[in-house]
Structure 1
Amino acid sequence: MFKILIMKINRLKNKKILLLGFGREGLSSYKFLRRYVKNGLIGVADEKRLADFEKQYQTVLTQDKKLSLHLGKNYLDSLEDYEVIIKTPGIKLDKKIAKAYGDTSKLTSNLNIFLANISGKVIGVTGSKGKSTSASLIYHIFRKAGRKVVLIGNIGRPALDYLNWDSKHTIFVVEMSSYQLDTLNQKKIDSALITAFFPEHLDYHGNSHKYFQAKMNIVRNLKKNGVMVYNRKYKKIKRFIDNQRVKNIGYLYNSIGAYCHTPLLGKHNRENIFGCIEIAKLFEVREAIINRTIKNFRGLPHRLENVGKFKGIRFYNDVLSTTPESTIEAIDALKGKSLETIILGGFDRGLDYKKLARKIVSSKVKNVILWPHSGIKIYKEIRKLENSEIRLVQVKNMRETVRACYKYTAKDGVALLSPASSSYDFYKNFEEKGKEFNRLAMALGR
């Protein structure tokens, strides 16, 4: 484990501070420093060249004449010159970076600084699948209950953007990715929810064990009397929590008597809702408010999103399913809805697609549309099962994809985008890919 710096605002003053990575969270940290640590010497280190940044980032980097810039391939050469390094989640915390400045005790993060400087309550939410939806639902439940609540994370804004919202009455619902948890070192979490665990982000963490240990930092950073809520079907999580001897509530899908009606599709969503209910109960939210909020909660874009019905074909956008396990859950969620066509493939992170191939064959999907590059691996796994009834269609872009959906999907059938892969080889992020799918489904369906 790396040693991570704990940093109160007053300890940042008059320090030489480096922002390692200047994306969405790096910009948030910059704004925080310029507001609270005005006299600090600030540097920015990023692998990108100045011309590679989007306009809003270029503007900051060029107009603030007090910034020291370390951009391009040698960006790590500057690390030893600074007393504090605020690392963004997208940069791997590996031995190469540790060696570059010799001592990771100079290292901290946007989230660590935030947690070190607040007095409000913190609800942490993580999981290989469902953390954004669960965090958003918890936020809506507390908001309907009249609580002062703030949503932070991938679906909100970076933590330090909300520092001035803090009070002893504030409840911060914080979606925590494995990237953020990798460097978390603040025992400030009052309660936490782990929705699920299966191998993910192995290109970042290196292996499943390191990914698991990063996720379990949410347990390690509970307050002394903090409570861990988790799905008991994940035995590995249960064993870890039991060994940590923290207060915990484990739930199973059929273990709660009252059933709350929800418009969300899929067993995985219903399981996660049970976890959200347990979190709300810890804060004594009334059952009627919980049930009413769940009933009216429509979910988030790009997560089994019902795009619409065009030319008699129903389109679903589940682009955020970036693992075989989550795509299997999407297939199960659409069981009985005439799923005919599924769109798979994208950035190849070395995942195993054998179980997904078996699920596709057993679910009687008629058409599989395959993207480079993992699509080739999925293609081979399906071919090994020698099922000649499945039509395999290889495409190169989203326009070809949607045209194939219209060509091969029968009227009243369903076409599902659930790639079991990330989007980074063709798109900036999953939102960009999902939006293009939605747009073309509508445009070509006129």
Structure 2
Amino acid sequence: MVVILAVVAAVPLANYIATSTSRTLFLSRSNDADWFATMAESPLQSGDIANLRELAVRYHELYNTPVFVVDVDRKVVATSRSGVDVKEPDLATALDSTLAGRLPAEPPALFPWRTGEMVVARPVVNNGRVLGAAVLRVPTEKARDQVQNGLLLLLGGLLISIGAIVIGIVRPITRWVLRPLNDLDNATHQITRGALDTRVSTDGRAPELRRLGDSFNSMALSLHQARQREREFVADASHQLRTPLTSARIHIEGLSRLSPTARFALSDIDRLGRIVQRLSRLAGSDRPGADAESNEEPLDLAQAVKERLVGWKAVYAADDMELIIGEMVPGGVGPELEVDDILDVLLDNASKYGAPPVEVSVTRDGTEVVMSVRDHGLGLGSRDLKKVGERFWRSAHHREMPGTGLGLAIVRSEAARVGGRVVARPPIGGGLVIEVRVPLIDDYDV
């Protein structure tokens, strides 16, 4: 019964091998026949067939495939070899369809016991009128050898399959060998999802698999302990930072009434406080419910920029530089956007590499809120503009000045966290404009 089922399954496979090989050969030579039909269009109209005959001879020599072209009356006008008889049954059948404007049917499958050439014909057409046909007589020896080899491989596979099924040991052995590997694969997926307490069983396994399971469990334990130590460190650090930050804020609040610079420092203290809060959230990010959505309200970018500019105006004034506060259009953005960090980098760069006056503005452009900082320095060339924001990149004009080439890379990373982008462009009148474009929160109430 098993043998009968195997033979029944092998018959369509054998037919598929022969049909597929035949179709591949037919399609490849059909493309060549189409090319010859295209090349024959002009000679059949003009009568100048010398070049067409040379092409046919060259193709025959290169691919060992005879080619000939006939006109609408079946007269051979160009051929790669003499002695073409258009009345041969295979040729006559193919020409009947081709000269009638139809593509001949695909030839039968190339089984090893069949001989003869494959006829591939294509009509030569001009403005819908058939002028003749291009015909290839394709040798099939190599294709039939391929089919024969494929059938032999199929027969060998069939015999092997029958032997394995009859013996009846493949399935039990495979399941026994692969079960621990499947368990290991499932455990690996669990580890990648964050379940670092996942372990695999090593009981009743082969010695090699038992050693592999022990190594995996040791690795998972090390990862779990490292993650636990990381969470504990972050939690302890954030807890230890809260007290000195609170004390510093109390002292600076008393000074902020007297000095804008002190208010600037107070803003930095608040920013450090937010960083400590983020560290606290990071410490619990692996716990259940840690991925819940934030309840923070959207941030008014214009208001945040104006508050930060209070301190920067004092800094610029101390350096006798003019800082202009331009248009400030309210617009809600993601609360996680670090406006102070971004503005600090852009204003610091403008003061070091640009020239006054420096203008800061917040506008809307469609679905984006745009924070732009413009200076009136030398600006950047078109090649340099494309590199703005790359890590450690610095313009050739600024390499002698202090810096790391990371500032704008940090700005680009901060903008990307809220789905934004950074654009550098040369404004009218010279200088450089850096725009930080972030998505506008539509339902923000300004």
Specify the TM-score bucket, using the shorter chain as the normaliser: under 0.3
> Whose helix fraction is larger, Structure 1's or Structure 2's?
2
TM-score, normalised on structure 1? 0.19
TM-score, normalised on structure 2? 0.19
- More RCO (CA 8 Å, sep 6+): 1
> Whose strand fraction is larger, Structure 1's or Structure 2's?
1
Q: Rg larger in 1 or in 2?
A: 2
